[in-house]
Structure 1
Amino acid sequence: MSHPESAGARTPRETLAAYHRAMLDKSADDLADLYAPDALHEFPFSAPGFPPRYEGREAVRTGYGAVWGASPVRIDEVRTVSSYETADPEVIVAEHVVVGRLPAGGAFTVPGLLVLRVRDGLVTHVRDYMDTAALGGVLPIRAARG
């Protein structure tokens, strides 16, 4: 585990790249280390069995650790479809598609859109709009319940 408070001047775009790497590796620790201690991660389109938010870095670590740790799927690629820097220098918006394989060999794709706010190199707020219908067939979402 790194020391997130030393993130320094990581830009929102650099943070997005690190976020996608953590997704690709299914590393809850690497993902959580990108967050400020009091960050908020919201899922506006939350599905039944999936939490509407994670409050704080450690909740991100625990929640994603449970989901990714319980999932036998392999993530092959996190493809950025488009990303946009905004008038607010702390915010980046990114559309992506997660591509992977199920244990039986079938392929899956889960599209999503992230709105990340990065302050002093750490994520302070995420609005995570993912295709929960596609996600429900891929991850054990009940494992994420708080």
Structure 2
Amino acid sequence: MSIEEIVTAYHAAMLHKSPDELADLYAEDGLHEFPFGGLAPFKGREEIRAGYRAMWGATAFEAEEVRRVSLYRTTDPEVVVVEQNAFVAAGDQRITVPGLLVLRIRNGRIVHARDYMDTSAVTQVRAAAS
């Protein structure tokens, strides 16, 4: 898969809240880190799958749209930075969750992701879904 295809598929997985679609984008030994928010990293495709299944299953929200704002290519051909907004419905609220993804992609798979989410927006989603 190309970088464009991976980013598009990543956003589709978010929109579908599909841990299987998301995990299948990763190398078997891929790493997904959350530098903000105090979450432990997911190590390996199956831990990514299980971790997202638990996270997305724990909060009652619906992703209405995931919009790519920008995709920045770096001087390292394996690394891209994706600026994105997730628009979600939680309870009776519509909340925008901005984020940045730093992805290292090798041989058509994500080998490392650093997921920078707006933790205050995530907190709003959790509160509204309660």
* Deviation by residue 1:57-85 (Cα, 9 ceiling, x = unmatched): 11110110011122221100111111111
Structure 2: which 5+ runs fail to align?
Answer: none
**Equivalent runs, 1:1-146 vs 2, <5 Å:** 10-47=1-38, 51-103=39-91, 105-139=92-126
Q: Taking structure 1 as the reference length, what is the TM-score of the superposition?
A: 0.82
Q: Kindly indicate whether structure 1 or structure 2 has the higher relative contact order, using CA contacts under 8 Å at least 6 residues apart.
A: 1
Offset at residue 137 of structure 1 (A)? 2.5
State whether residues 12 and 116 of structure 1, in contact with CA within 8 Å, keep that contact through their aligned partners in structure 2: no
Q: Tell me if the contact between 1:12 and 1:91 (Cα under 8 Å) persists in the aligned partners.
A: no
Describe the SS at the equivalent of 1:138.
helix
Range with bigger deviation, 55-64 or 81-90:
81-90
Identity over aligned pairs, percent? 52
**Number of residues paired by the alignment?**
127
Report the AA paired with residue 77 of structure 1.
E
Higher strand share: 2
Flag structure 1 segments of 5+ consecutive residues without an equivalent: 1-9, 141-146
Q: Give the drift of 1:128.
A: 0.6
Structure 1: 4+ residue segments shifted above 6 A? none
